[in-house]
């Protein structure tokens, strides 16, 4: 400080000393607020992402443990149902009534499940109750134990998002709530399916159509990889099939085989229509049953009995549960043809999953979508002149992508499950499926409106 500055300081000090007490107090408050604002700006600029990334890693580890427990219990529940389908599937309606009553008594508002997660993620609401976690998990276990056709990612994403959002309430950073919610979504998806790259992409692109939430990129990626590693260490196994080297199909005589690309594109159109149709029909079915049976207990009781009868008549639960049995069958064959799946398997799985979820049972849609896509791809392979394992793998990824209105997540999930050698094929099929899905989604996505 030079003499000139020192003089100014003394002059200011004298002026401040001569102020009335009320004005002094007001000036002190303004000074404190200014210091707080500058400190907060500094923290948000330089400390928020590193701090949130570290917290996201811890969140991912916790979610990984929860996903291992949830996933292993779910598999045990499914195995029990498959062992005693005649005794358990008839109880589907009673399980449904128990789920609805539990939500009415303890989970007011949380019955919207993913709808609530998306509302908070898009800034329309501000709270996700912790009670959502046990209700979603137990409801999904009951749905699967008694034969409902549903998935599991809904619970995984809800658990991760709920924990992340509630942790963020203790943090002083701007956008901490949103970033930790996205990181939690990535952790839940990754911990369950053990596909961290796809889980990161899914969490970043699913909330808003056509927008990648890159602000949450690093925390989401760290949370996803942590959850994947921890769930694996806890004993949850990953589904994986190696397609081998398929690059020879894509490249012919040193150039891209356009005939093969056209076949993939046509397959993408089919998967896009089916995935988009699933999302649209699910929305229509939910609206129809809500109007037809306004009372949730009566709705799930009446339709639960109907569903039980259908599941039992159709080979005693072939289409119950996740549909992993159908996925496995889609890759079994001989002489270049699938021998374990039927051409109508995807139709029954498609319809029964919509009915199960539309009337109020808990779970998710993603694993049934994997099975719908895999069975459709395997049985359509001959028509398109493609190897059936490759077509099944394409359907596995692309129908999921078209139904969720996501692009990068299905491309990456295809690579992480079936091998990166098939990346060009997944890119072509998933891009075309995304374009052909009619902008439909099983989630309440926000549409980004651009002005030019």
Mean per-residue pLDDT for 96-116?
91
Torsion sign over Cα 380, 373, 437, 268: negative
Quick one: what percent of the chain has pLDDT higher than 90? 77
**pLDDT at position 265:** 97
Q: Is the pLDDT of residue 27 over 70?
A: no
Torsion of CA 208, 211, 217, 221, to 10 degrees: 70
What is the Cα–Cα distance from 59 to 110, expressed in whole angstroms?
22
Q: Name the E strands within 101-211.
A: 208-209
Closest CA relative to residue 244, chosen from 421, 448, 90: 421
Helix, coil or strand: residue 208: strand
Q: Per-residue pLDDT for 286 more than 70? A: yes
How many other CB atoms are there within 10 angstroms of residue 48's CB atom? 20
What is the reported pLDDT for 47? 80
State the DSSP string of 99-111: HHHHHHHH-TTGG
Give per-residue pLDDT as tens, 186-223.
999 999 999 999 999 999 999 988 888 899 999 999 99
Instruction: Give residue 126's pLDDT.
Output: 85
pLDDT tens digits along 141-174:
999 999 999 999 889 999 999 999 999 998 888 8
**Domains in the chain with CATH codes:** 44-233 (1.10.3080.10), 247-447 (1.10.3080.10)
Which pairing describes strands 446-447 and 208-209: parallel, antiparallel, or unpaired?
parallel
pLDDT at 86: 97
pLDDT at residue 37 greater than cutoff 70: no
40 has pLDDT over 70: no
Distance CA 236, CA 290 (A): 37
Backbone angles phi, psi at 68, to 5 degrees: -65, -45
Mean pLDDT of 266-282: 98
Close Cβ partners of 205 (under 8 Å, ≥ 6 residues apart)? 211, 212, 213, 406, 407, 408, 409
So what's the pLDDT on residue 41? 64
Instruction: Identify the weakest region by mean pLDDT among 20-34, 243-257, 282-296, 371-385.
Output: 20-34
Pairing of strands 337-338, 333-334: antiparallel
Q: In this structure, how many other beta carbons lie within 10 angstroms of the beta carbon of residue 15?
A: 9
Q: How much of the chain exceeds pLDDT 70, in percent?
A: 89
pLDDT tens, residue by residue, 377-417: 999 999 999 999 999 999 999 999 999 999 999 999 999 99
What percentage of the chain's residues is helix, strand, coil (to nearest 5)?
Answer: 75, 5, 25
Residue 452, pLDDT > 60, answer no
Q: What pLDDT score was predicted for residue 182?
A: 97
Query: Which region among 46-55, 130-139, 270-279, 319-328 has the lowest average model confidence (pLDDT)?
Result: 46-55
Has residue 1 got a pLDDT over 50?
Answer: no
Specify the DSSP class assigned to residue 245: -
Q: What is the mean pLDDT of the chain?
A: 91
Rounded CA-CA distance 343/403 in Å is 21
**Cα 251 from Cα 230, distance rounded (Å):** 38
Residue with the two structure tokens 């839940």: 188
Q: What is the mean pLDDT of the segment spanning 243-271?
A: 89
Predicted pLDDT of residue 155? 92
Mean pLDDT lowest among 230-239, 245-254, 383-392: 245-254
Q: Determine the pLDDT at residue 328.
A: 97
pLDDT at 32: 65
Q: Round to whole Å and give the CA distance between 151 and 279.
A: 14
pLDDT, tens digit, for every residue of 404-450? 999 999 999 999 999 999 999 999 999 999 999 999 999 988 776 54
Lowest mean pLDDT among 41-45, 111-115, 144-148: 41-45
Q: 305 with 93: CB under 8 angstroms? A: yes
Rounded to whole angstroms, the Cα distance separating 5 from 31 reads 20
Q: And the tokens for 83?
A: 């062992």
pTM greater than 0.95:
no
Mean pLDDT of the region 327-337: 94
Residue 249's pLDDT is 85
**What is the per-residue pLDDT for 12?**
52
Range 87-99 average pLDDT? 97
């Amino acid at each position: 400080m030079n003499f000139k500055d020192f003089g100014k300081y003394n002059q200011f000090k004298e002026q401040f000393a001569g102020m009335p007490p009320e004005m002094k107090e007001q000036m002190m408050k303004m000074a404190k607020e200014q210091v707080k604002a500058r400190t907060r700006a500094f923290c948000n600029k330089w400390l928020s992402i590193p701090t949130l990334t570290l917290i996201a890693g811890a969140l991912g580890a916790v979610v990984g443990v929860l996903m291992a427990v949830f996933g292993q219990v779910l598999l045990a529940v499914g195995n029990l149902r498959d062992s005693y389908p005649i005794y358990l599937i008839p109880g589907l309606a009673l399980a449904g009534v128990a789920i609805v009553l539990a939500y009415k008594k303890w989970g007011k508002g949380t019955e919207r499940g993913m709808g609530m997660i998306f509302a908070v993620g898009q800034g329309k609401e501000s709270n996700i109750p912790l009670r959502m976690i046990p209700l979603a998990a137990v409801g999904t276990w009951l749905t699967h134990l008694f034969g409902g056709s549903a998935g599991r990612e809904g619970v995984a994403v809800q658990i991760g998002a709920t924990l992340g959002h509630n942790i963020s309430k203790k943090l002083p950073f701007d956008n901490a709530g949103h970033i930790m919610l996205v990181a939690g979504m990535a952790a839940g998806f990754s911990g369950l399916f053990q596909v961290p790259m796809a889980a990161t992409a899914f969490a970043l692109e699913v909330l808003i159509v056509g927008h990648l939430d890159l602000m949450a990129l690093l925390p989401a990626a760290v949370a996803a990889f942590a959850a994947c590693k921890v769930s694996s260490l806890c004993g949850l196994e990953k589904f994986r099939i190696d397609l081998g080297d398929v690059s020879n199909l894509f490249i012919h005589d040193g150039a891209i085989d356009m005939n093969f690309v056209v076949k993939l594109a046509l397959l993408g159109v089919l998967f896009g229509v089916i995935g988009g149709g699933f999302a649209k029909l699910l929305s229509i079915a939910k609206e129809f049953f809500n109007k037809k049976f306004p009372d949730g207990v009566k709705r799930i009781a009446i339709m639960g009995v109907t569903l039980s009868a259908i599941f039992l008549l159709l080979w005693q639960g072939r289409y119950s549960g996740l549909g992993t049995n159908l996925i496995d069958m889609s890759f079994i064959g001989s002489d270049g043809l699938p021998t374990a799946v039927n051409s109508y398997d995807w139709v029954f799985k498609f319809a029964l999953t919509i009915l199960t979820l539309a009337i109020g049972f808990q779970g998710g849609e993603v694993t049934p979508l994997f099975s719908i896509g895999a069975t459709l791809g395997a049985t359509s392979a001959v028509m398109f002149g493609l190897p059936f394992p490759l077509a099944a793998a394409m359907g596995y990824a692309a129908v999921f992508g078209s139904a969720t209105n996501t692009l990068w997540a299905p491309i990456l999930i295809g690579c992480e499950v079936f091998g990166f050698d098939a990346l060009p094929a997944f890119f072509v099929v998933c891009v075309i499926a995304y374009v052909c899905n009619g902008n439909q989604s099983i989630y309440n996505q926000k549409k980004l409106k651009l002005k030019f």
